[in-house]
Amino acid sequence: MELKFYNLKNSSDILSTAKDTILLQSNAIANLTNLLDNYFIDAVNFILNSSGRVIVTGIGKSANIATKIVATLNSTGTPAVFMHAADAIHGDLGNVQQNDTVICISKSGNTPEIKVLVPLIKASGNKIIAITGNPTSFLGSNADFVLNSYVEKEACPNNLAPTTSTTAQLVLGDALAVCLLEKRGFTSNDFAKYHPGGALGKRLYLRVSDLIKNNELPKVTADASVSDVIVEISAKRLGVTAVVNQNNAIEGIITDGDIRRMLSKTSSIETLQAQDIMSSAPKTIHVDAMAVVALDTLESNSISQILVVDDADQYVGVVHLHDLIKEGIF
């Protein structure tokens, strides 16, 4: 059966609609700065001084936004739990403990579930932070703190599908999380504790020592023959070898690129030694440095490998760009 498409827009119209959608939402988000007031300050300080968790609830698309806000709060040091508004009035209200703060999200603030839920929360003595586009609604009128998420129009051409309004809710949730993060003095080390997995976590905790532990340790002395240098680079498969003295201190570095450049200039290598073709005073990095620092050093110097040293300036390994790629950091 052949599919038929009606009212199909041309490419220009499609891009125009997409741009209009983005501009409409971006302007609405920018306008939120005009709606912020002391309620926002009080809400941040209340959560900060609370001994309980943050329970975030909503219905429909607002519930989807609530789950993302919960994830952001948890990952930035504020314990949070998602509670669907419909499930809350059918048993899940037990999630709310004595000192918890409840964030209720609703564009209209007048949905049936919210009207049932809010009095139950208030009866338990918990404070309510409303994120609503209608501060005079049932939710806004009964909340302890009201964060105004008003938007003039949805991006939907029928002004029906939650688009701009849910973006506004999300941005206010992010603003809350970031303010709490800064007030808590949440550092990158704290962030690493909550993000141990994936590339993001690795950028925060992975060190050079973790990268080199499975690598070979290519090295030659300054008087080694070029043939020995080539064998060492080939055998250790890192495209490089360190040139060290008898105390294992680094005197230079030779890469496979140095070998190629040497061979392009001369075919007589019998009398050449490592010291004749090495680069003196190469870039090094400490074994305890963060892996992202190694990446920055490689990128800023346009090199693929860097030699690693310990506290005594002893040569202990090589970090290759491929190590960072393998770990998902690059």
List per-block mean pLDDT (blocks of 10 residues) for the chain, which spans 330 residues. Answer: 52 86 95 97 96 96 97 92 94 92 97 95 96 97 97 90 96 97 82 64 80 94 94 94 96 94 83 92 94 92 95 95 85
In this prediction, residue 1 carries a pLDDT of 40
Say whether both 172 and 268 belong to one domain.
no
Say whether both 31 and 151 belong to one domain.
yes
**Residue 68 falls within a domain, yes or no?**
yes
**Residue 108 falls within a domain, yes or no?**
yes
**Residue 311 falls within a domain, yes or no?**
yes
In this prediction, residue 7 carries a pLDDT of 56
Say whether both 144 and 38 belong to one domain.
yes
**Residue 192 falls within a domain, yes or no?**
no
In this prediction, residue 3 carries a pLDDT of 42
**Residue 201 falls within a domain, yes or no?**
no
Q: Please work out, in degrees rounded to the nearest 5, the angle formed at the alpha carbon of residue 258 by the alpha carbons of 254 and 264.
A: 150
Hey, what are 151's tokens? 């938007």
Say whether both 172 and 250 belong to one domain.
no
Say whether both 164 and 274 belong to one domain.
no
Q: What is the DSSP letter of 40?
A: H
In this prediction, residue 199 carries a pLDDT of 60
Say whether both 246 and 181 belong to one domain.
no
How far apart are the C-alpha atoms of 269 and 242, rounded to whole Å?
19
Give the end of a domain, one of 186, 219, 243: 186
Say whether both 163 and 239 belong to one domain.
no
How far apart are the C-alpha atoms of 246 and 230, rounded to whole Å?
20
Say whether both 97 and 213 belong to one domain.
no
Q: In CATH, what number is assigned to the domain containing residue 106?
A: 3.40.50.10490
**Residue 321 falls within a domain, yes or no?**
yes
In this prediction, residue 134 carries a pLDDT of 97
**Residue 2 falls within a domain, yes or no?**
no
How far apart are the C-alpha atoms of 307 and 279, rounded to whole Å?
12
pTM for the structure as a whole = 0.67
Could you tell me where the DSSP H helices lie in 84-163?
A: 85-88, 112-123, 138-142
Give the end of a domain, one of 186, 218, 250: 186
Cα–Cα nearest to 83, from 100, 75, 99, 98: 100
Say whether both 154 and 212 belong to one domain.
no
How far apart are the C-alpha atoms of 255 and 284, rounded to whole Å?
14
**Residue 5 falls within a domain, yes or no?**
no
CB 240 within 8 A of CB 230: no
In this structure, the number of other CB atoms found within 10 A of the CB of residue 174 comes to 15
Say whether both 218 and 305 belong to one domain.
yes
Say whether both 127 and 273 belong to one domain.
no
Say whether both 215 and 105 belong to one domain.
no
Number of domains making up the chain: 2
Question: Domain of 161?
Answer: 11-186
Task: Report CA torsion sign: 83, 86, 91, 94.
Answer: positive
Q: In CATH, what number is assigned to the domain containing residue 242?
A: 3.10.580.10
